[in-house]
Amino acid sequence: MSHKKLALFIALSLLSIVSGAVFGLIDLFGFIDGRHALSLTLLIVSVLLIYLITIVVFILNFAERKRTWPFFAVAALLFSTTFFLMSLTFQLTIASGMIFLAFLYYAYVNSAHRSHLFIAFSPKEIFFPIIKTSFVYLMVILALLAYTQSRQLISQHSLVSPVMVKIISRPMVLTLNKQINSQLQSELGSQLPSQMSAGEKDRLIRSVLKQSVEAMAQNEEGRIYGFKPEEIPIENAIVYDSGEIDLTPVIDGMLPQIAIRLNDEIQRYAVFAPFVVAFIIILIIQPFIYPIELIEALLTLVIFKVILRSGFIKLTKETKEVDVIQF
């Protein structure tokens, strides 16, 4: 085995070890609701590692092909080992290891196939389609992570956290504030003279707001979105001197109860919920991966120029017979 090929196999082994550890540590739900800032870093690192592994496998395709496949099996085993040590989930480890091995197989075989389709060596034409499809394998592993983690959280009634509820409800609270303020303005416009003191205005608005909550509860069989009026801390609402109100503190005070209610509802669909959650997670993550793909596309051109100039790989000319169709 040549020194260059040995160096590539060592690089592949190290990248596989690190990749397994990184994927095993990723907490997708911590990434979404902000519990772990490290999760975002791990997600970005995982994308970069898949990119670097694809480059190594791509270059390996042009080396001697003997004894290549056993090294891919070893790389997948190394990936699975560190993945298991970090995640401690056997079934997920087996599935992720098989996907990683399939990813190596795809990158290797398609590198050979595409390299024979072009007369001139062009990383943009040969390598870019391979790296783009390689990210599909990344998304599959992330989907498996999302499914497994969501399934565990659902069984613990903790899939939805108060922080997650706050993030999701923020746009709805803004809309609700506008609706309530508009409604109060139409009801109290004539009852809020400019000479009324701030204290009187505050008491009047809070009284009307409380009555509105009680009226809504009567129309909803004594509950508002599943909550009794006394469970809603309407007294936490902020009343400004202008007469406008802000219900954000009210919602913030109910975050734990809302999270509990949502988890109870999700528990009723525990069989199907992990699949839906995994799909949603992938939709959320994709926008973060696309910019990295653009950066890596530019980086690839630089990397191959450096590798060619260093002499690690060389471009040579050879004559080949090709089929030509004539009419």
Instruction: Encode pLDDT of 63-82 as tens digits.
Output: 665 667 888 999 999 999 99
Using the predicted structure, report yes or no on whether residue 12 has a pLDDT greater than 90: yes
Structure-token pair, residue 73: 């099996």
pLDDT-wise least confident of 10-24, 225-239, 287-301: 287-301
Q: Is residue 231 part of a domain?
A: yes
Assign 302 a pLDDT band (cuts: 50, 70, 90).
Answer: confident
- Integer Cα distance of 238 and 147 in angstroms: 40
With a CB cutoff of 8 Å and minimum separation 6, the contacts of 303 are 55
pLDDT value of position 104 = 92
- Integer Cα distance of 163 and 49 in angstroms: 30
* Under 8 Å between Cβ of 218 and 176: no
Q: Is residue 326 part of a domain?
A: no
Structure-token pair, residue 40: 């975002």
Mean of the pLDDT values across residues 265-290? 79
Q: Which of 39-48, 76-85, 143-152, 193-202: highest mean pLDDT? A: 76-85
Please give the angle made by the CA atoms of 171, 176 and 180, to the nearest 5 degrees.
Answer: 155
With a CB cutoff of 8 Å and minimum separation 6, the contacts of 321 are none
pTM, 2 dp: 0.75
Assign 327 a pLDDT band (cuts: 50, 70, 90).
Answer: low
In terms of domains, do 59 and 147 share one? yes
User: Taking Cα atoms as reference points, which of 284, 205, 191, 277 lies closest to residue 241?
Assistant: 205
Q: Is residue 117 part of a domain?
A: yes
Q: How far is CA 42 from CA 11, 28, 142, 148, 313, in A?
A: 20, 10, 12, 18, 31
pLDDT value of position 95 = 93
In terms of domains, do 218 and 152 share one? no
- Amino acid found at 256: P
pLDDT-wise least confident of 58-62, 122-126, 233-237, 256-260: 122-126
Name 227's bridge partners. Answer: 224
- Integer Cα distance of 152 and 132 in angstroms: 31
Look at residue 74 and give its three-state secondary structure.
helix
Q: Is residue 74 part of a domain?
A: yes
The larger pLDDT score, comparing residue 107 to residue 120, is at 107
* Under 8 Å between Cβ of 154 and 266: yes
pLDDT value of position 117 = 63
Q: Is residue 327 part of a domain?
A: no
In terms of domains, do 169 and 146 share one? no
In terms of domains, do 144 and 173 share one? no
In terms of domains, do 44 and 147 share one? yes
pLDDT value of position 73 = 92
Only one residue has tokens 């992330």, namely 142
In terms of domains, do 172 and 241 share one? yes
* CA atoms lying within 13 Å on the CB side of residue 277: 25
Q: Is residue 184 part of a domain?
A: yes
238 phi, psi to nearest 5 deg: -90, 130
Structure-token pair, residue 213: 């909550």
User: Taking Cα atoms as reference points, which of 280, 291, 293 lies closest to residue 29?
Assistant: 280
Q: How far is CA 268 from CA 42, 126, 157, 263, 275, in A?
A: 32, 49, 11, 9, 14
Overall number of domains in the chain: 2
In terms of domains, do 241 and 292 share one? no
pLDDT value of position 124 = 67
- Amino acid found at 243: G
Question: pLDDT > 70: what percent of the chain?
Answer: 81
In terms of domains, do 58 and 149 share one? yes
* Under 8 Å between Cβ of 88 and 74: no
The larger pLDDT score, comparing residue 221 to residue 165, is at 165
The larger pLDDT score, comparing residue 293 to residue 264, is at 264
In terms of domains, do 10 and 117 share one? yes
Task: Point out the domain boundary residue: 233, 248, 265.
Answer: 265
Q: Is residue 300 part of a domain?
A: yes
Mean of the pLDDT values across residues 228-253? 83
Range of the domain at 59: 3-156+270-310
Mean of the pLDDT values across residues 232-239? 84
In terms of domains, do 21 and 136 share one? yes
* Under 8 Å between Cβ of 271 and 22: no
In terms of domains, do 40 and 132 share one? yes
pLDDT value of position 322 = 64
In terms of domains, do 10 and 91 share one? yes
